[in-house]
A and B are shown apart, each in its own frame.
Chain A
Amino acid sequence: MSGAAETTRSPVYTGMPRTRRPRAGAMRAAEARFAWLSLLPATVFFALFVGFPVVYSFMLSFRDWNLTSATAEWVGMANYEALLDDETFVRSLLQTTIFTISITVCILVFSLVAAMLLDLKLKFIKLYRTILYLPAVTSLVAIGIVWVWLFDPQYGLINQLLRGIGIEGPLWLADPQMALPALVITAAWRNVGYFATIFLAGLQGIDISYYEAARIDGATAADCFWRITLPMLRPTILFVTVMSVILSFQVFALVYVMTGGGPAGSTSVIVFYLYQQAFTYFRMGYASAVGYVLFFIIFVLTLAQFKLFGKQADA
């Protein structure tokens, strides 16, 4: 590479006094010293913005504090116990779960199909790849509001199209039954292209000779899909599932701009609930408890998925 040739000519070497090589031990020590020095800014950062918050919010979750009072009263497990009796919290948790499962199923199916289409050598395939990834670089706030407008019962494009084929569309975001599905549709529109790009990278990592060999043995396209594509994609499927579950469980911006948790609390999700508790009602201890429950759920779900897929891989 030309880069390597350049390096040997670089001014670093010219006119440097040649010293004898220091002993290996001294070099090792100098290396370690530089390593820690180089890591120092990030270490301070993680201590301040990850370590401290994780500990502090754990302690806060056993206290009652409204942000302005001088002292935070110790309440023990009361915040966690109150959560179980809090109907809005339980409902938010349930709705978050429904949202997460629906969106993850949508993503696994549509992203994989899209990726297989994008893997074909067809005309304009690069253009299709470009277009399908576009929503991933667009902000959730912008997308949310455009979709509010698309879902408008009277003037929105969706109901106007439905009217064109003689169907009177639902009220969507104004209908407690249809608001959560509308959020799922919006989130799917945003994320399918992103995950399709990841699936595409996985597909292109499968050696073509597997398919050629299978074809010689008389396998059909369906055989190839079930026996080659899906098993070979297992790490990608795991990655996509884990990512989708983590991201969906933390859905916030879409809910904030599209529904504000309504109508009638039908789209309240856990992070939106946490945000309200912390920054509308200033119940910092209670909100911290919600945060820890969320942390715990995400941790368990991620672990469970690794266990599940790991086992299948052994079998």
Chain B
Amino acid sequence: MNRIGAKRIGWLQTRTGDDHSRLMLLLLQAMLIVAALITLLPYVWMVSASLKSNADIFSSSIQLIPAHATLSNYATTLTSTPVLPAILNSIIMAGGETIAVVVTSIFTAYPFARLRFRGRDTVFLLVLGAMMIPSQVTMIPTFILMKWLGWINTYQGLIVPRAVTPLGIFMMRQFMLSLPRELEEAALIDGCGRLRILLQVCLPHLGPAAATLAIFTFTTSWNEFFWPLIVVQSEDMQTIQMLIAAMKQAEAADWGVIMAIITLSVFPTVAIYLLLQRYFVKGVAMSGMKG
């Protein structure tokens, strides 16, 4: 075996102790480092700019680490921009959507995974088909519906049209199918109702799937731009993403302040990702490969 310990080297057929392949491995490692640097550089540049004074931002030399680091952009952000209400709006929207999607996915997925009824497979195909419809097709009538209901500029207008997702139903169903049936059969023989089985037998095992779906939904919703842009028309209801876009569009855009707001807006999703990474990888595998 190679000394670098390439046990699962797969596609790269290295020969033991071969200098040529050791050089190859070094080259591959260098490629990884370059890829990581390209990925990280914009983040470093963003945080660095948020800590710079205007004089340093408009400087003709590259300063990855600010020469005169200052928190003044963050102070300006907090005192003279509506960043806190915007963050609160985003938390309410993303939180509400997450709870709604997890609950509706569980109740909708269960019959598809476990129950026998006429038309089940046809209805499930329709759910999958709904995934194919671009949101731009449904957006205009949904906006008109929101107007009729008086839901423009409201949290329900932001949340309700996104409260059920085909992807969530699909993910939850796949997970339920992987649970052993025996768990439920014992309860069924004892004469337990299906609702009780779902809530007391099935639900306790859904933790990992629910967590994956919740994290996915929360970050997607936090980052969502298109629908809030349409359904929100007043400044006090705007989300953090809308605020950032509006600030960049403003006549005298203050780049230091904008970078500070962006850094604040990026922080929650990146933190969730770094802390709960295993759920993300699982989510990608669940949504992607079993289709």
CB distance from B87 to the nearest CB of A (A): 13
Are A221 and B12 in contact (CB-based, < 8 A)? yes
Query: Is A138's beta carbon under 8 Å from chain B?
Result: yes
Asked if residues B6 and A121 are in contact (CB atoms below 8 Å), the reply is yes
* B117/A31 in contact, CB under 8 A: yes
Q: Produce 1/0 per residue, B14-44, CB < 8 A to A.
A: 0000000000010011011001101111110
Q: In the complex the two chains form, is B8's CB within 8 Å of A119's CB?
A: yes
Chain A residues with CB under 8 Å of B229's CB are: 256
Whether a CB of chain B sits under 8 angstroms from the CB of A184 is no
Chain A residues with CB under 8 Å of B49's CB are 149
Q: Chain B residues near A187 (CB, 8 Å)?
A: none
Do B11 and A221 have beta carbons less than 8 Å apart? yes
Q: Indicate if B10 sits at the interface (CB-CB under 8 A).
A: yes
Q: In the complex, which residues of chain B have a beta carbon less than 8 angstroms from the beta carbon of A194?
A: 284
Q: Say yes or no: A257-B45 contact (C-beta < 8 A), given A12-B201, A142-B262.
A: no
Bound form: Cα–Cα A57–B140 in Å? 7
In chain B, positions 136-166 with a C-beta closer than 8 Å to chain A are: 136-145, 161, 163-164
A193–B42 Cα gap in the complex (Å)?
A: 14
- Across the interface, which residues of A come within 8 angstroms of B230, CB to CB? 279
Known contacts A134-B270, A256-B225; is-contact A221 B13 (Cβ 8 Å): yes
A6 surroundings in chain B (CB, below 8 A): 204
B6's partner among A28, A49, A120, A154 (CB-CB below 8 A) is A120
Residues B29 and A122 in contact, CB atoms below 8 Å apart: yes
Q: For residues 190 through 248 of chain B, which have their beta carbon under 8 Å from a beta carbon of chain A? A: 190-196, 198, 200-201, 204-205, 219, 222-223, 225-226, 229-230, 241, 244-245, 248
Decide if A211 touches B13 in the complex (CB within 8 Å): yes
**A 143-170 binary contact with B (CB < 8 Å = 1; else 0):** 1011111100011010011001000000
Least Cβ distance of B99 to chain A in Å? 14
Q: Do A54 and B39 touch (CB < 8 A)? A: no
- Indicate if the CB atoms of B140 and A278 lie closer than 8 Å: yes
Residue ID in chain B nearest A290 by CB atoms: B136
In Å, the complex CA distance between A72 and B132 comes to 28
B270 neighbours in A (Cβ, 8 Å): 134, 137-138
Which residues of A have CB within 8 Å of B226?
252-253
Q: Mark B110-146, 1 if CB is under 8 A from A, else 0.
A: 1100011110100100110010111111111111110
B169 touches A (CB below 8 Å): yes
CA gap between A140 and B57 in the complex, in Å: 23
Q: Which of A251-268 contact B (CB under 8 A)?
A: 252-253, 256-257
Give how many A residues have a beta carbon under 8 Å from the other chain's beta carbons.
117
A38 within 8 A of B: yes
Per-position binary interface string of chain A over residues 1-15, scored 1 when its CB falls under 8 Å from any chain B CB and 0 otherwise: 001101110101100
How far apart sit A131 and B56, CA to CA, in the bound complex (Å)? 28
Do residues B11 and A28 form an inter-chain contact, with CB atoms below 8 A? no
B136's partner among A123, A197, A294 (CB-CB below 8 A) is: A294
Give the interface centre of B25, B135, B139, B142 by most chain A CB atoms within 10 Å. Answer: B139
Q: B258: CB under 8 A from chain A?
A: yes
| A-B pair number, CB within 8 angstroms | 308
The answer for the CA separation of A245 and B5 in the assembled complex, in Å, is 38
Q: Compute how far the CA of A195 lies from the CA of B27 in the bound complex, rounded to whole angstroms.
A: 23
* Complex: chain B residue closest to A4, CB-CB: B183
Q: A142's contact among B59, B164, B265, by CB below 8 Å, is which?
A: B265
Contact A220 B13 (CB under 8 A): yes
Q: How many residues of B contact A (CB 8 A)?
A: 112
Q: Does A117 count as interface, using CB distance less than 8 angstroms?
A: yes
Q: Is the beta-carbon distance between B245 and A41 smaller than 8 angstroms?
A: no
Would you call A203 and B201 a contact (CB within 8 A)? no
Contact indicator A41/B137 (Cβ below 8 Å) = no
A74 near B: Cβ within 8 Å?
no
How distant is B34 from chain A, measured CB to nearest CB, in Å?
Answer: 10
Report yes or no: A155 in contact with B192, Cβ–Cβ below 8 A.
Answer: no
A43 to chain B, nearest CB (A): 8
User: Who on chain A is nearest to B264 by CB?
Assistant: A142
Could you say which of B29, B59, B126 contacts A155, with CB atoms under 8 Å apart? B59
Report the separation of the CA atoms of residues A67 and B229 in the bound assembly, to the nearest whole angstrom: 17
The closest CB in chain A to the CB of B43 belongs to A134
Contacts of A118 in B (CB 8 A): 32
- Contacts A35-B111, A54-B138, A132-B35 given; indicate if A211 touches B10 (C-beta within 8 A): yes
A41 contact set on B, CB distance < 8 A: 104, 107-108, 164
The 5 closest A-B pairs by CB, nearest first: A139-B223, A53-B138, A53-B141, A35-B111, A32-B117
Given contacts A120-B28, A145-B262, 7 further A-B contacts (CB under 8 A): A38-B107, A41-B108, A133-B273, A141-B245, A145-B248, A215-B13, A250-B134
Residues of A within 8 A of B (CB): 3-4, 6-8, 10, 12-13, 16, 18-19, 21, 28, 30-32, 34-36, 38-39, 41-42, 45-46, 48-50, 52-54, 56-57, 60, 67, 113-114, 116-123, 125, 127-128, 130-135, 137-143, 145-150, 154-155, 157, 160-161, 164, 189, 193-194, 197-198, 201-203, 205-206, 208, 211, 214-215, 219-221, 224-225, 228-229, 236, 239, 246, 249-250, 252-253, 256-257, 271, 274, 278-279, 284, 287-288, 291-292, 294-295, 298-299, 302
Can you list 23 pairs linking A and B with CB atoms under 8 Å apart? A19-B191, A35-B115, A39-B111, A42-B164, A49-B145, A56-B141, A122-B4, A135-B39, A137-B223, A145-B258, A146-B259, A149-B46, A161-B62, A197-B281, A202-B289, A203-B11, A208-B10, A219-B13, A221-B13, A224-B11, A224-B13, A294-B134, A295-B134
